[in-house]
Chains A and B, each alone.
Chain A
């Protein structure tokens, strides 16, 4: 989900369970979406991307789903591990402003043993 104010939404997941992180975007012209993972005190790292002509894309333990009808993006992490604890950001881009990503506010994922 998206945060309002200063507090990031937090997703608490038990180790081994699947995680689903949601993101709503507002620009219907966006045609490229990216998920980033940011560990504390570090720069964001690329996880997976998806083009607007796709509904689903899979990577290693991660799947991104895109629903353009409702402008919704989700990241699914299979068998969540302690190393998955981080803040996850979705970002959108479009050909008119290529490279100038618009970031969501982020979701804090906490993996519990």
Chain B
């Protein structure tokens, strides 16, 4: 069966520090991968998606970047965090041609 893992689960970082959130998927190959952000009391906003290694599409301009160094690995990064980067970050995957997304457990980032 397919599983998705993301870490760390929680992170408290000072403004201006770097960020790296990692997500890996097991049990499937060539998945579509996604990073979503959820602000408190809000829905999910799509940040990045990837259909293959090295292929990243950004949905909104921001202080973050994403990379996909391996087929089942998706990384969310920032060189210098802003206060507005605080939120709950969710990694997700889907099969090619399918609409349903499977989400990880999320990473809660607090920037102070």
Task: Using CB atoms and an 8 Å cutoff, list the residues of chain A in contact with chain B.
Answer: 3, 6-8, 32, 34, 36, 41-46, 49, 89, 91, 93, 98-101, 103-106
Which A residue sits closest to B106, measured CB to CB? A43
> Is the Cβ of A100 less than 8 Å from the Cβ of B49?
yes
User: Taking the complex as formed, is B86 at the interface, i.e. its CB lies under 8 A from any CB of chain A?
Assistant: no
Provide a sorted-by-A list of 14 A–B residue pairs whose CB atoms are within 8 angstroms.
A7-B41, A34-B101, A41-B106, A43-B106, A44-B90, A45-B103, A49-B100, A89-B44, A91-B101, A101-B44, A101-B99, A104-B43, A105-B42, A106-B43
> Is the Cβ of B41 less than 8 Å from the Cβ of A3?
yes
A45 to B98: give the CA distance in the assembly, Å. Answer: 16
Q: Which residues of B contact A103 (CB under 8 A)?
A: 43-45
A104 to B41: give the CA distance in the assembly, Å. Answer: 11
Which B residue sits closest to A34, measured CB to CB? B100
Q: Which residues of B contact A101 (CB under 8 A)?
A: 44, 46, 99, 101
Which B residue sits closest to A94, measured CB to CB? B99
Q: Which residues of A contact B102 (CB under 8 A)?
A: 46
A49 to B97: give the CA distance in the assembly, Å. Answer: 15
Q: Which of B12-30 contact A (CB under 8 A)?
A: none
- B43, B90, B103, B106: the one within 8 Å of A105 (CB): B43
A41 to B40: give the CA distance in the assembly, Å. Answer: 11
Name the distance in Å between B95's Cβ and chain A's nearest Cβ: 9
- A6, A36, A43, A98: the one within 8 Å of B99 (CB): A98
Q: Which residues of A contact B32 (CB under 8 A)?
A: 99
> Is the Cβ of A32 less than 8 Å from the Cβ of B41?
no
Q: Which residues of A contact B99 (CB under 8 A)?
A: 32, 34, 49, 93, 98-99, 101
> Is the Cβ of A89 less than 8 Å from the Cβ of B40?
no
> Is the Cβ of B44 less than 8 Å from the Cβ of A44?
yes
- B41, B49, B103: the one within 8 Å of A44 (CB): B103
Q: Which residues of B contact A7 (CB under 8 A)?
A: 41
Name the distance in Å between B55's Cβ and chain A's nearest Cβ: 13
Q: Which residues of B contact A105 (CB under 8 A)?
A: 42-43
Q: Which residues of B contact A36 (CB under 8 A)?
A: 103
